[in-house]
Structure 1
Amino acid sequence: MGQKGFYYNSQVCTGCKACQIACKDKNDLDVGVLFRKVYAFEGGTFPDVWGYYLSLGCNHCKDPKCVKNCPTGAIYKREKDGLVVQDHEKCIGCKMCVWSCPYERPQYIEKEGKVGKCNGCADLVDKGQNPACVDACPMRAIEFGDIDELRKKHGNLCDLNVLPDSSITHPSITINAKEEAKNKNVVGTKSY
């Protein structure tokens, strides 16, 4: 089995946050904790305005900094499919993974004194199902599968002007993005 990952089609995403809500529901997360988050970006001046959305969960990176910097081994990469998962019992709440992830995806959960993160819905994947975010999307803007297959089908774009350089962690994601997201010279405003 190869490395699993996500394809995200920003061209069709409406920013409805169904993926974010499905993840929140699946993981029974409190207010303020999001393992998947939908960001909105906008810019330009009238009449040349633009906007797009970006939905991000864990990118299940080839070289995950969260795994390398976790002192207890609580966060690790599954050999069978490359998903970056967590043994919640081993987490000591030191936040090293939070500080290490350039995508800001591990989340500190105050009431537990521990960190939680997207695990690609590993329990569903093990049953041959999609992660909750994928099936919740009414626009089918998110796909999950073997990242090499997704890249063959959709291309290999994972460097956007709002994301860190992919050479840092080699994320298992590919994105169909609007031109404004690809152009490093375009600056906009991020909102939540």
Structure 2
Amino acid sequence: MKLEENSQFGFMLDQSKCVGCRTCSLSCKDYKNMPVGVNFRRVFETEGGNWTCKEDGSFEQSVFAYYTSISCNHCSNPSCLKACPTGATMKIKWGIVAIDDSMCIGCKACATACPYGAPQFNHESGHMSKCDGCYERLKEGKNPICVDSCPFRALKAGDITKLREEHGNLASITPLPDASITHPNLCIVPEKHSLPSGNKSAIFHLPQNYQGVKNDII
């Protein structure tokens, strides 16, 4: 994958292909050698529908579930950047939102401001940390590790303009916030049951409630 000098980096997620296996999340954690509790890429499960008993005793159902793999969206209007009191959070080449450890004081203001939960506190370093798009791989013309590790090819990365031309510009999907807040450089190919942001007819499970995360395994 080659990015032009003035490209804006972004991600594409195809929810119709994502099965919630979390290979993307685990490969990211392994590649970045993150401590327990820090996960740059997370997977949400959204479910809804019900079973209805009919008069003849039979049942009909409208049950559904879909998955949303999410990391930092390297937003065009990043709330984390505006909230940082020291200037440690900044836009670098290809519009990637990055954190300069030498300037970060670990105040967590960026984490509080981000509606996607991208910045996370690293207890080992005492600094905030987040997805940088695998910047060192991008410079070599490679994909982020999460993209290459997905067994179902549900993720793509690259110039967001080209990704949107190919896959559309939808990014406001439950459980994510409305895209108008920070203008994420993300496009989503919805699964047939995907719901718009703000829809309360379904429930979603937080990534930290997965057993491995809850028990401090990952």
Same-fold status (TM-score > 0.5): yes
From 84, 109, 114, give the equivalent of 1:96.
Answer: 109
* 1:63 aligned onto 2:77: yes
From 39, 44, 64, give the equivalent of 1:50.
Answer: 64
1:34 equivalent in structure 2: 39
Distance 1:29 1:191 in 2: 19
Distance 2:186 2:14 in 1: 11
Shift of 1:100: 0.7
Distance 2:82 2:17 in 1: 35
Runs of 4+ in 1 over 4 A off after TM superposition: none
1:24 equivalent in structure 2: 29
Distance 1:69 1:191 in 2: 24
Match of 2:49, SS state, is: strand
Superposition RMSD in Å? 1.3
- Structure 2 unaligned residues grouped into runs of 5+: 1-5, 52-60, 208-218
2:204 equivalent in structure 1: 189
Shift of 1:30: 1.4
1:109 equivalent in structure 2: 122
Distance 2:174 2:20 in 1: 19
TM-score by length of 2: 0.84
Identity %: 44
Q: Deviations over 1:66-86 (max 9, x none)?
A: 1111111111111x3101111
- Structure 1 unaligned residues grouped into runs of 5+: none
Distance 2:174 2:157 in 1: 23
* 1:139 aligned onto 2:152: yes
Distance 1:74 1:9 in 2: 32
* 1:13 aligned onto 2:30: no
TM-score by length of 1: 0.95
Distance 2:204 2:10 in 1: 28
Q: Is the 8 A contact 1:62 1:171 kept in 2?
A: yes
Shift of 1:172: 0.1
How many aligned positions are there?
191
Distance 2:143 2:201 in 1: 34
